[in-house]
Amino acid sequence: MQVLDSNIPSGSLAEKWARHKAAIRVVSPANKRKLEIIVVGTGLGGASAAASLAELGYNVKAFCYQDSPRRAHSIAAQGGINAAKNYRNDNDSIYRLFYDTIKGGDYRSREANVYRLAEVSPNIIDQCVAQGVPFAREYGGLLDTRSFGGVLVSRTFYARGQTGQQLLIGAYQALNRQIDQGNVKMYTRHEMLDLVVIGGKARGIIARDLVTGEIKRFGAHAVVVATGGYGNVFFLSTNAMGSNGSAAWQCYKKGAMFANPCYVQIHPTCIPVHGDQQSKLTLMSESLRNDGRVWVPKKKEDAEKLRQGKIRPNDIPAEDRDYYLERRYPSYGNLVPRDVASRAAKERCDAGFGVNSEGKAVFLDFSDAINRLGRSVIEERYGNLFQMYEKITDVDPYKEPMQIYPAIHYCMGGTWVDYNLMTTVPGLYSIGEANFSDHGANRLGASALMQGLADGYFILPYTIGDYLAGEIMTPKTDVNAREFSEAEEKVKSTLEKLMKVKGTKPVDYYHKALGHLVWEYIGMSRNEAGLKKAIIEIQALRTEFWGNVKIPGELNNLNQELEKAGRLADFFDIAELMARDALNRNESCGGHFREESCTEDGEAKRNDEEFTYVSAWEYQGENKEPVLHKESLTFESIKLSQRSYK
């Protein structure tokens, strides 16, 4: 039996989306007014979807845990957004963007979805410009672009180092307009804690009002989850402190399969960890690799002196510096994809060439660029990033190279969706980072913004109509239905159970412990023994957590420790599934590096014969092993080859 039907339309790649749009059903304006849609999360995906759906005439309820929809973590994306505009005349095209994304994802994504993403990418730029997003401009008044890792053209549009912020504000403004017109009801400081399924279809959610602690029921004809990734499973990550996987995880427990959980992205250019008091890691945009050169000392004794603070990086002459990315990958140099750059940094540091006191940092050096272009050009391009770096580290990157080290940044894995972005639960959709569909095993830089906005502005508003056309006779969801009561009871009992533990250790204690485990065994480098060990240790830690966590405060009041505890409870489960998935996938691909599967010179080696599929995990119940379903990936227009950036 074929469990997973990806619903990919027939026809050639270039025709699929147009043919599909022509074939799917459309809801009349009069009927749209009768239909309700819940959108959870207000990042690029959620805000653009909520606004676009409301513009079409649907009644939208939007939710975010922050105090304002503008604070969603898309706001922190720095570098840019890709689009196949070919404004540079450098032979970019929809096909080239598609090809780069498939190759960058190490041939583990769905061709049809990726092609569609590339196809709608130019519309995104137009839309954002019309909203008033202040993209960088050339002196002639036209849009400027820059290059990103893993590509040979310049197709990344940007607004200084704050592209995510500006795109999110664009979507937020569109959302505000719909709130003002009464088409969107916005619920801030509300967190989705369960999905309600009635008659096999998604019909609503249970959410906690984070200010009063009240548990509330919300009904709809369809539910859209746009809640981002689960990177905070690592404790230290570049995600926001509140970013979590709980909404997606509740969907998983209600029947939405979870795909490729082991595909997480370790970003090569983050500010390194200092000491043990740190709460979060800060990214330095990939765009910096346009002008920065990555190096470590050639001589171990120089690295040793750097670690002891006996010399400064500028004391090391050019001939004693190892620009290892340029050395290993001459054709892409400093602009190799993220997974490749991260592993190369780890390799140098593991070999003893790390440059900070912990030995876990490499240099990102701008001195050549400053000499070539002048300080003012660098300031205009990256000023806010340089300022941020100096505020955090107390080192002036105009004068001395930055120190960087890889850190967890993005989750390619997520809720399984078909071509319509619908999950395995009818009426439940997943968009943006929350789904799995477009980035395969590794995401290229500046593609997350593109995907979030493609899903929210241009894909979901069409595809959801096809489902809702079948729901026009369905009355408003009755929130007094038995399924709502059951879901609410379950949510309440989980929260009460957490409060009742009254143990001895704060939530952060367990979160840090989980983070260490995940970084050690399910991080940049994985092997069978480690993954098996991880599963056992995660289970043990989870048991300890449920028996000994200490949560002060009250259930019916604002309680940040309780919020954290609920999210961590799900992170344990997510971490375990990540380990299972990584264990099953005995090949190296993209961000997933299995030590058992590499070439002689240490590069990742895929195993296409056995693993050209999407792993979709189906929940079987508490303490039961999930079942693995495989969606095989077929490549019609691209020939699979081992990725090479040499």
Partner 1 sequence: MADKILKKLNIVVWRQKDAKSKGRFETYAIENISQGSSFLEMLDILNYNLIEKGIEPIAFDHDCREGICGMCSLYVNGHPHGPDTEVTTCQLHMRKFNDGETITIEPWRSRAFPVIKDLIVNRSAFDQILQAGGFVSVNTGGVPDGNAIPISHEDAEEAMDAAACIGCGACVAACKNSSAMLFVSAKVSHLAKLPQGLVEAKSRARRMVAKMDELGFGGCTNTGACEAECPKSISISNIARMNREYLSARFSE
Return d(Cα 403, Cα 392) in angstroms, integer. Answer: 12
Return d(Cα 190, Cα 179) in angstroms, integer. Answer: 17
Tell me the per-residue interface mask from 284 to 323 with partner 1, x by CB under 8 A, - otherwise: -------------------------x--------------
Return d(Cα 406, Cα 266) in angstroms, integer. Answer: 6
Q: Is 12 in the site for partner 1 (CB under 8 A)?
A: no
Contact window for partner 1 (CB under 8 A) among 32-40, 273-281, 574-582, 598-606 = 273-281
Task: Spot the catalytic one: 71, 338, 526, 567.
Answer: 338
Q: Helix 560-584 to helix 482-501 angle, to the nearest 10 degrees? A: 100
CB closer to partner 1, 347 vs 358: 358
- Under 8 Å between Cβ of 600 and 75: no
- Under 8 Å between Cβ of 256 and 617: no
Nearest approach, Cβ of residue 313 and partner 1 (Å): 12
The total number of residues written for the chain in this structure: 646
* Tokens linked to 203: 């019909």
Coil, helix or strand for 267? strand
Return d(Cα 243, Cα 263) in angstroms, integer. Answer: 17
CB closer to partner 1, 39 vs 51: 51
Among 15, 33, 134, 496, which residue interacts with partner 1 (rule: CB under 8 A)? 134
Tell me the per-residue interface mask from 403 to 442 with partner 1, x by CB under 8 A, - otherwise: ----------------------------------------
Tell me the per-residue interface mask from 503 to 522 with partner 1, x by CB under 8 A, - otherwise: -x-x-xx-------------
Return d(Cα 127, Cα 38) in angstroms, integer. Answer: 23
Contact window for partner 1 (CB under 8 A) among 63-71, 323-331, 346-354, 535-543 = 63-71
* 531-550 binders of partner 1 (CB under 8 A): 550
Return d(Cα 566, Cα 7) in angstroms, integer. Answer: 35
Among 314, 485, 543, 560, which residue interacts with partner 1 (rule: CB under 8 A)? 560
* 584-603 binders of partner 1 (CB under 8 A): none
* 196-225 binders of partner 1 (CB under 8 A): 211
- Kindly report each contact of residues 87-91 with a partner whose C-beta sits within 8 Å and lies 24 or more positions away, as own/partner: 87/142, 87/143, 87/145, 88/145, 88/153, 88/154, 88/155, 90/153, 90/154, 91/153
Nearest CA to 104 out of 410, 354, 358 is that of 410
Among 20, 34, 61, 70, which residue interacts with partner 1 (rule: CB under 8 A)? 70
Nearest approach, Cβ of residue 172 and partner 1 (Å): 8
Return d(Cα 80, Cα 133) in angstroms, integer. Answer: 12
CB closer to partner 1, 30 vs 139: 139
Among 3, 18, 241, 540, which residue interacts with partner 1 (rule: CB under 8 A)? 241
Task: Find tokens 């979805």 and name the residue.
Answer: 113
Q: Read out DSSP for 183-229?
A: SEEEE-SEEEEEEEEETTEEEEEEEEETTT--EEEEE-SEEEE----
* Tokens linked to 251: 């969907």
Nearest approach, Cβ of residue 291 and partner 1 (Å): 19
| Residue 338 annotated among the catalytic residues of the structure | yes
For residue 400, count other CB atoms closer than 10 A to its CB. Answer: 16
* Tokens linked to 274: 């200092």
* Tokens linked to 235: 């404790």
Q: Is 187 in the site for partner 1 (CB under 8 A)?
A: no
Q: Is 75 in the site for partner 1 (CB under 8 A)?
A: yes
* 81-110 binders of partner 1 (CB under 8 A): 85, 87
CB closer to partner 1, 131 vs 494: 131
Q: Is 627 in the site for partner 1 (CB under 8 A)?
A: no
Q: Is 280 in the site for partner 1 (CB under 8 A)?
A: yes
Return d(Cα 303, Cα 305) in angstroms, integer. Answer: 5
* 343-382 binders of partner 1 (CB under 8 A): 357
Among 30, 130, 318, 529, which residue interacts with partner 1 (rule: CB under 8 A)? 130
CB closer to partner 1, 325 vs 388: 388
Q: Is 278 in the site for partner 1 (CB under 8 A)?
A: yes
Return d(Cα 26, Cα 21) in angstroms, integer. Answer: 9
CB closer to partner 1, 128 vs 151: 128
CB closer to partner 1, 369 vs 562: 562
* 143-182 binders of partner 1 (CB under 8 A): 143, 157, 159-160, 162, 165-166, 169, 172-174, 176-177, 179-180
- The residues carrying an active-site annotation are 338
